[in-house]
Amino acid sequence: MLSAFEVAIITFGAKRVEWRMRVGSRPGKNREAVINQFISQMSFVDVFNLCVLLVFTICYTYQLFYVVEVLVHRPEPITAKKNHRFAVIIAARNESAVIANLIHSIKVQNYPQELIDVFVVADNCTDNTAQVAAAEGATVFERFNTEQVGKGYALDHAFQIIHKDYADRGYEAYFVFDADNVLDVNYFREMNKTFDNGAKASTSYRNSKNYDSNWISAGYAVWFLREAKFLSQARLNLHTSCAISGTGFFIAADIIDEAGGWKWHLLTEDIEFSACSILKGIRIAYCPTAILYDEQPTTFRDSWNQRERWAKGFYQVFWHYGAGLVKGIFTNAKGYRFACYDMLMTIAPGMLLTIIAILFNSIILVLGATGVMSTGTMVASSVSSIVFCLANYMMFMFVLGAITTFVEWDSIHSTTGKKIRYMFTFPLFMITYVPIALVALFHKTQWKPIRHSIDVGVEEITERSNNQ
């Protein structure tokens, strides 16, 4: 989901440029006079756009500090005193083409195999996912329920069975993966360090196994690399809470036991869990050395459906937890108040305010063009706002994608030519969030499966990494 900090650029870029053009080169009293004149000539269109600018500037400037923090400081290395016992939960629906690669990557981990048990929920499958998973050594639970659809229900199904039939195994934490994932061979060794150092939940470094499929998969890949590097790592450095992101995370067993299973069933159950945990004062950690690869959509239809679900899910989480997070900013224990603020800004529907601002300026433009409104100044202001907003947005996204690409250059498995090419397509990928967020607001969005078919194993990924 597009963060509100990025979408803010769409909204307020024009007024900042206009301001600089008018007063930037004028000194002293002359500048003060120009500023006073500028304020006196402001129309209600200017006031509206300026208010949006101020709101976003006040709320999201801190994320610029995140970028600086990551570029300046590296995470402190940690070690583990003991190896812990884990269970892996994989929710899979018609994933026979890829699930074997994930299970295999778990079986070849540089971590004691006797301490990892793999459970697969074959959720409403019509193919042989269950058989393939069982052949790879996983314990398989088949589930058929067309009423309670979604990953959250599949996870809860697994937790209920494990609590009933496998309680004697003594699992200390549960890992959750999507069936299309492939893990670096050191994934569990690194995540064990984070768990051993007291983390109750943790996300990991999310990379892509098909960055170079096309501009859509590359757009996803850059976005998740940016999230890992410039959000999660910054939060790790600053000892605040991260958020889990769909896959590649663990949760301590006592949290699941206390909740009575997986009780988070909104469309973005990962962000719901994150918001709920932060409200309870549970810090979500991040392990930058635990690397996971997943498959990104390659068709625009699949991408639209997935991101519409994310957008709708963020709206749902904001509706259910927004007020609690506002309260938590002032009442949570010290050390967790900023985490509440950070999460609130993450789930806040900043895109809606951006859409409203664009629509507002567009309406002013239409009214002027049809003669309903004759104030040329306001029409001109609206035109400049729309033009500068779009231009600034595209430029900002290019810079964001370029910084992420260059900083994570060695982690992206592709040719130099494609890395450069997809820096230029990244802004196009991101701008499609605008209509997606608008549709998600009104459309009854439901979970829809995305077909995964890229057959890439851990050995091939390791070879790619070694050849970078």
Task: Tell me which residue of 57, 66, 13 sits closest to 342, measured CA to CA.
Answer: 66
Element (DSSP H or E) covering residue 204: strand 201-208
**Averaged pLDDT, 328-356:** 85
pLDDT at 59: 77
pLDDT at 242: 96
- Report residue 16's pLDDT band, with 50, 70 and 90 as the boundaries: very low
Does position 230 have pLDDT exceeding 80, yes or no? yes
Does position 355 have pLDDT exceeding 80, yes or no? no
**Averaged pLDDT, 330-345:** 90
Structure tokens at 45: 């269109």
Task: Tell me which residue of 250, 270, 89, 304 sits closest to 179, measured CA to CA.
Answer: 89
256 vs 63 pLDDT, higher one:
256
- Report residue 20's pLDDT band, with 50, 70 and 90 as the boundaries: very low
Does position 273 have pLDDT exceeding 70, yes or no? yes
**Averaged pLDDT, 319-345:** 92
Report all structural domains of the chain as residue ranges with CATH numbers, in order of start.
4-60+349-431 (no CATH), 86-347 (3.90.550.10)
Give the chain's mean pLDDT.
87
Strands (E), 237-279: 249-252
Q: pLDDT (tens digit, 9 = 90+) per residue, 439-460?
A: 998 888 887 878 888 888 888 8
Task: Tell me which residue of 129, 125, 164 sits closest to 145, measured CA to CA.
Answer: 125
Listing DSSP states for 392-446 in one string gives: HHHHHHHHHHHHHHHHTGGGS-S-HHHHHHHHHHHHHHHHTHHHHHHHHHHS---
- Report residue 181's pLDDT band, with 50, 70 and 90 as the boundaries: very high
Does position 280 have pLDDT exceeding 50, yes or no? yes
**Averaged pLDDT, 291-313:** 95
433 vs 372 pLDDT, higher one:
433
467 vs 189 pLDDT, higher one:
189
Does position 257 have pLDDT exceeding 50, yes or no? yes
Residues paired with 88 in a beta bridge: 118, 175
- CA-to-CA distance for 21 and 24, rounded, in angstroms? 6
Say what the pTM is: 0.87
pLDDT at 5: 47
Does position 263 have pLDDT exceeding 60, yes or no? yes
pLDDT at 11: 46
Does position 357 have pLDDT exceeding 50, yes or no? yes
Does position 10 have pLDDT exceeding 60, yes or no? no
**Averaged pLDDT, 151-172:** 95
- Report residue 272's pLDDT band, with 50, 70 and 90 as the boundaries: very high
**Tokens 């900013």 identify what position?**
329
Which range is least confidently modeled, 20-34, 298-312, 392-406, 415-429?
Answer: 20-34
Does position 54 have pLDDT exceeding 90, yes or no? no
Structure tokens at 55: 């709101």
Q: pLDDT (tens digit, 9 = 90+) per residue, 81-103?
A: 999 999 999 999 999 999 999 99
Which range is least confidently modeled, 39-43, 190-194, 406-410?
Answer: 39-43
Does position 371 have pLDDT exceeding 90, yes or no? no
Does position 26 have pLDDT exceeding 70, yes or no? no
Please report, rounded to a whole number, the percentage of residues in the chain having pLDDT higher than 70. Answer: 85
Structure tokens at 431: 């701008």
- CA-to-CA distance for 262 and 244, rounded, in angstroms? 14
Residue 205 CB coordination number (10 Å): 25
397 vs 161 pLDDT, higher one:
161
